[in-house]
Amino acid sequence: MSVADRPIVMPGSSGQVAEYPEHHYLNHSKGFLSWALTLDHKRIGVMYLIGVMASFALGGMFALMIRIHLWNFQDGWLENKTYNQVFTLHGAIMVFLFIIPSIPAALGNFLLPIMLGSKDVAFPRLNLMSFYLWVSGLVLFLVALSVTGLDTGWTFYTPYSIETQKGGAVLAATMGVFVLGFSSIFTGVNFIVTINTMRPPGMTWFKMPLFLWATYATAIIQVLATPVLGITVLLLAAERVLGIGIFDPKLNGDPVTFQHFFWFYSHPAVYIMILPAMGIISELMSVHCHKGIFGYRMIAYSSIAIALFGFLVWGHHMFTSGMADVTTIVFSALTFTVSIPSAIKVFNWLGTMYQGTVSLNTPMLYALAFIFLFTIGGLTGLPLGALSTDMHMHDTYFVVAHFHYVMMGGTLVAFLGGVFHWWPKMTGKMFNDKVGIISAAIVFVGFNLTFLPQFVLGTRGMPRRYATYLEEFQDLHRLSTIGSLVLGFGLVVAGLVLFHSLFYGKRAPKNPWGGATLEWECTSPPPHDNFASAPTVDDPYNFAGIEYDPKTGGYAKA
Partner 1 sequence: MIYFMWKFRDRPGYRGSPEALHNTPLEITWTVIPTLIVVWIFWEGAVGYLDMTRIPKGTVDINVTAEKWKWSFKYENGGQNSFVKMGENDIPVLVLPVNQDVKLIMQSVDVLHSFYIPAFRVKRDVVPGRYSYLWFRPTKEGVYDLFCTEYCGDSHSKMIGKVEVVSQEGYKKALEKAIQEPEDPLERGALLYKRLGCSSCHYAGKEGAKGPGPSYNGSWGKTVQLENGSEVAFDENYVRESILNPQAKARKGYGSASPMNSYVGRVKDVQIDALITFIKSLEQEAAPAK
Hey, which residues between 158 and 217 contact partner 1 (CB under 8 A)?
159-160, 163-166
Q: How far is the CB of 157 from partner 1 (least distance, A)?
A: 6
**Using the rule CB under 8 A, is 311 a contact of partner 1?**
no
d(CA 4, CA 182): 38
Nearer to partner 1, 343 or 492 (CB): 343
Q: How far is the CB of 517 from partner 1 (least distance, A)?
A: 15
Q: Which long-range contacts (CB under 8 A, 24 or more apart) does 292-297 make?
A: 292/352, 292/539, 292/541, 292/542, 292/543, 293/210, 293/348, 293/352, 293/541, 294/348, 294/349, 294/351, 294/352, 294/354, 295/344, 295/348, 295/351, 296/206, 296/210, 296/541, 297/206
**Using the rule CB under 8 A, is 372 a contact of partner 1?**
yes
Per CB under 8 A, the list member of 5, 123, 126, 153 interacting with partner 1 is 153
| Stretch of 79-87, 115-123, 269-277, 446-454 lying at the interface with partner 1 (CB under 8 A) | 79-87
| Stretch of 145-153, 413-421, 432-440, 495-503 lying at the interface with partner 1 (CB under 8 A) | 145-153
How many chain residues touch partner 1 (CB under 8 A)? 85
**Using the rule CB under 8 A, is 547 a contact of partner 1?**
no
Which residues in 221-260 contact partner 1 (CB under 8 A)?
249-250, 252-256
Which residues in 448-467 contact partner 1 (CB under 8 A)?
460-461, 463-467
Q: How far is the CB of 328 from partner 1 (least distance, A)?
A: 7
Query: DSSP per residue over 107-134, as a string?
Result: IIHHHHHHHTT-SS-S-HHHHHHHHHHH
Nearer to partner 1, 219 or 289 (CB): 289
**Among the listed residues 257, 180, 190, 265, the one whose alpha carbon sits nearest the alpha carbon of residue 227:** 265
Per CB under 8 A, the list member of 29, 136, 339, 474 interacting with partner 1 is 339
Query: DSSP per residue over 427-475, as a string?
Result: HSB---HHHHHHHHHHHHHHHHHHHHHHHHHHHTT-BSS-SS--GGGHH
* One character per residue 255-274, x = contact with partner 1 (rule: CB under 8 A): xx------------------
CA angle at 200 for the pair 196 and 204, rounded to the nearest 5°: 65
**Among the listed residues 155, 153, 135, 133, the one whose alpha carbon sits nearest the alpha carbon of residue 143:** 135
* One character per residue 384-423, x = contact with partner 1 (rule: CB under 8 A): -xxxxxxxx-xxx---------------------------
Q: How far is the CB of 473 from partner 1 (least distance, A)?
A: 10
Q: How far is the CB of 518 from partner 1 (least distance, A)?
A: 19
Question: Which letter does DSSP use for residue 4 in this model?
Answer: G
Per CB under 8 A, the list member of 182, 543, 555, 556 interacting with partner 1 is 543
Which residues in 350-369 contact partner 1 (CB under 8 A)?
350-351, 353-360, 368
Contacts for 195 with CB less than 8 Å, ≥ 6 apart: 112, 116, 208, 212, 215, 216, 219
Per CB under 8 A, the list member of 27, 146, 197, 320 interacting with partner 1 is 320
Q: How far is the CB of 32 from partner 1 (least distance, A)?
A: 41
Nearer to partner 1, 476 or 522 (CB): 476
**Using the rule CB under 8 A, is 142 a contact of partner 1?**
no
**Using the rule CB under 8 A, is 445 a contact of partner 1?**
no
Which residues in 17-76 contact partner 1 (CB under 8 A)?
74
Phi, psi (rounded to 5 degrees) for 534:
-55, 125
Nearer to partner 1, 372 or 489 (CB): 372
**Using the rule CB under 8 A, is 84 a contact of partner 1?**
yes
Contacts for 478 with CB less than 8 Å, ≥ 6 apart: 71
Which residues in 470-489 contact partner 1 (CB under 8 A)?
470
**Using the rule CB under 8 A, is 469 a contact of partner 1?**
yes
CA angle at 511 for the pair 285 and 106, rounded to the nearest 5°: 65
Nearer to partner 1, 24 or 394 (CB): 394
Question: What is the torsion angle, in degrees rounded to the nearest 10, for the CA atoms of residue 355, residue 358, residue 363 and residue 365?
Answer: 90
Question: Which letter does DSSP use for residue 249 in this model?
Answer: G
Contacts for 183 with CB less than 8 Å, ≥ 6 apart: 101, 105, 130, 131, 133, 134, 137
Secondary structure of residue 21 in the 3-state scheme = coil
Q: How far is the CB of 470 from partner 1 (least distance, A)?
A: 7
Q: How far is the CB of 538 from partner 1 (least distance, A)?
A: 13
Beta bridge partners of 17: 9
Nearer to partner 1, 114 or 467 (CB): 467
**Using the rule CB under 8 A, is 322 a contact of partner 1?**
yes
Q: How far is the CB of 162 from partner 1 (least distance, A)?
A: 9
Q: How far is the CB of 309 from partner 1 (least distance, A)?
A: 13
Residue type at position 17 = V
Q: How far is the CB of 319 from partner 1 (least distance, A)?
A: 8
Beta bridge partners of 555: 548
Per CB under 8 A, the list member of 71, 157, 311, 489 interacting with partner 1 is 157
**Using the rule CB under 8 A, is 519 a contact of partner 1?**
no
CA angle at 393 for the pair 266 and 450, rounded to the nearest 5°: 80
Residue type at position 377 = G
**Using the rule CB under 8 A, is 305 a contact of partner 1?**
no
Per CB under 8 A, the list member of 19, 40, 120, 151 interacting with partner 1 is 151
Q: Which long-range contacts (CB under 8 A, 24 or more apart) does 543-550 make?
A: 543/286, 543/290, 543/291, 543/292, 543/514, 543/516, 546/290, 546/511, 546/514, 546/516, 548/514, 549/509
